[in-house]
Structure 1
Amino acid sequence: MTEIEILTERLKLRLIELSDLNSIHKLHSLPETDEFNALGIPKNIEDTKTIIQPWIAENKLDKIKNYTFAIENRLDREFIGLFGLKLGNEKYKRGEVWYKIHSEYWKKGYATESLKAVINFGFENLKLHRIEAGCAVGNIGSFNVLEKAGMVREGRLRQVLPLKSGWSDNFEYSILETDERKK
């Protein structure tokens, strides 16, 4: 397996490793990052380990179908969050992105910078045709990120997201390889 890194001006996205366990556990344990996430807050670090072990195993395959990246600051290697790219059936050349950013790094452009980089990776390296994303309708920060990165809101799915607060509608977004990408 070759090492995969995506570099931006400020960030490095690299495949997660078990050494990221503590940082990921802290991220998953934050009530702010859990509000619009269906995963839930882990009871303990062992729960987090159980969640990420399949992600780490998937990252080691010759043909990765679910990329899970750690986002870190290039200057101080500080852990900022997670970014995922899940590939669909190869015939459709489609992927779906998700991200979870530590609340200390919100509103600094890191999510948008990461998303643009992963979109470019998906189209240029993986030769995808379409990249999709979804977010709870109340998650204003997230849909602003998706739109700043050039994704188009295509619709609204009713009550598909099981959140602690109850069932939430989800906005659906996409960007195509033929769409103009934002730098």
Structure 2
Amino acid sequence: MLELYSDRLRLRTVVASDWDNFLFTHSNEKLNEFVRKPQSENAIREKFERVLTSKEFVEGEWLLTVIEQVHDQAFVGFIGLQNSDAEMQQLQVGYMLHPDAQGQGFATEALKAIVDWACLVYKPHKFIAYCVAPNIASTKVLENCGFVREGLLRENCKIGEQWFDDCIYGLLAAERC
């Protein structure tokens, strides 16, 4: 079981008892405003089962972890890495925090922790993040962690019936590790 610690947080492997939090974060309209139109419970359950059974971090797969507060194990959210391009040694990052945990620096702390750990374990060349342009909070998290905006993909992300521009952020591992 994976366990990473920062000053205030523990990042750990997702287990079956995390279902309620997984369902909430993937079905909540407000949390998914800049991610996707919430899916059906069955689709979310299938995604959860894949997370539970995923054993190898091969290209295309996500390594998802739960973010909890260290002192009381209160649920904060999820953060993960995707092995997006093995040949180019690129890992994509993504995170989603519970509304009660937002605005407290938890996303920044968790992202720094998982990037540092990934540098040691996977030795990537680069980390990548996609962020829809109106998601200012996520933009701030990425920039606080040293990510640099490298481009804009116009109308690259469709959420519901609305198209959004995707900002591409990158962090060279050599600049972080």
TM-score by length of 1: 0.89
Residue 43 of structure 1, CA deviation: 3.3
Which residue does 1:171 correspond to in 2? 167
Q: CA deviation at 1:167?
A: 0.7
Residues 26-175 of structure 1 aligned to structure 2 (within 5 Å)? 26-38=24-36, 40-44=37-41, 46-58=42-54, 60-61=55-56, 63=57, 65-164=61-160, 166-175=162-171
Give me the whole-angstrom Cα distance separating, in 2, the residues matched to 1:11 and 1:19.
19
Kept after mapping to 2: 8 A contact 1:10/1:75: yes
Letter in 1 for 2:102: W
| Whole-Å separation in 1 of the counterparts to 2:154 and 2:43 | 30
Distance 1:31 1:161 in 2: 17
- The structure-2 alpha-carbon separation of the partners of 1:165 and 1:139, relative to structure 1 and needing over 3 Å to count, comes to farther
Answer yes or no: is the 8 Å Cα contact 1:21–1:48 preserved in 2.
no
Deviates more, 1:29-38 or 1:151-160: 29-38
- In structure 1, C-alpha distance between the alignment counterparts of 2:82 and 2:46, rounded to whole Å: 19
Q: Give distance in 1, aligned partners of 2:150 and 2:12.
A: 30
Q: 2:35 & 2:84 partners in 1: Cα distance? A: 21
| Equivalent residue, structure 1, for 2:8 | 10
Structure 1: tracts of 5 or more residues without a match = none
Alpha-carbon shift at residue 27 of structure 1 (Å): 1.8
Counterpart in the other structure of 2:17: 19
Letter in 1 for 2:114: V
CA distance in 1, matches of 2:176, 2:47: 36
Whole-angstrom distance in 1 between the partners of 2:152 and 2:85? 23
CA contact (8 A) 1:71 1:81 kept: yes
SS in structure 2 opposite 1:34? coil
State the identity as a percent. Answer: 29
Report if aligned partners of 1:156, 1:169 keep a CA contact under 8 Å in 2.
yes
> With structure 2 as the length reference, what TM-score do the two structures score?
0.92
Shift of 1:15: 1.4
5+ long unaligned stretches in structure 2: none
Q: How large is the RMSD of aligned CA atoms in angstroms? A: 1.6
8 Å contact from structure 2 (residues 116, 176) kept in 1: no
